[in-house]
Chains A and B, each alone.
Chain A
Amino acid sequence: DAGVIQSPRHEVTEMGQEVTLRCKPISGHNSLFWYRQTMMRGLELLIYFNNNVPIDDSGMPEDRFSAKMPNASFSTLKIQPSEPRDSAVYFCASSSGFNEQFFGPGTRLTVL
């Protein structure tokens, strides 16, 4: 198995632009998590999906952030409009329900 796949690996954009981050979880995993990691705040859970349904989005910072999981093999995290304070590394992780989470390589987002 290729593990969790994220794209792009790096994204540089200007303030106000829309950013879409993509994730393909490990086949057969029914849980998917989006995290944000910064030096100041560490690893923060943004949203959790179970069986493609959003269960907990309390970590989503504000309405500018949205996430979808249209099927078991694909999820997106969208920021519109993006702001410099959104600069961070965004991780997608998947799990089969036994709490070991498998993380993707992350997307490093820089908003100028």
Chain B
Amino acid sequence: TQLLEQSPQFLSIQEGENLTVYCNSSSVFSSLQWYRQEPGEGPVLLVTVVTGGEVKKLKRLTFQFGDARKDSSLHITAAQPGDTGLYLCAGDDSSYKLIFGSGTRLLVRP
């Protein structure tokens, strides 16, 4: 069974701080996606990384796919209250199915 473990599970930080969220697996994925879910809404795709070692930037968010395509990280610089939400990584196992991680719940305090 493919599993994606995310850490930390919960993170509460002050506005302006930096943070990193990790997504790890023992399985290789053809690509990995990061979603953000706000309260009362469904997850929304932020980015897809495909190539081992790939780095993608989305404003203050930096996403990296591990060289072996088993892990990924999300780094947020100068976090803002609008970044608050549940961050989910999801691995594509080359079938129709996405394997979702357990999620990291982020709270950015003003």
Contact = CB atoms under 8 A, between A and B. Distances in A.
Question: What's the dominant secondary structure at chain A's contact region?
Answer: strand
Interface in A11-45: 31, 42-43, 45
Contact of A99 (B40, B44, B92): B92
Contact of A31 (B31, B41, B42, B96): B96
> Which of A43, A45, A104, A105 has the most B CB atoms < 10 Å from its CB?
A43
A56 B42 contact: no
A56 B41 CA distance: 25
Contacts of B43: 43, 91, 103
B24 interface: no
Interface residues of A, number: 19
Interface string B18-41: 000000000000010100000011
19 contacts: A31-B96, A42-B100, A42-B101, A43-B88, A43-B100, A43-B103, A48-B96, A48-B97, A50-B96, A56-B97, A91-B43, A99-B33, A99-B48, A99-B98, A100-B33, A100-B45, A103-B43, A105-B41, A106-B42
Interface of A: 4, 31, 42-43, 45, 48, 50, 55-56, 91, 93, 99-106
Interface of B: 31, 33, 40-45, 48, 88, 92, 96-98, 100-103
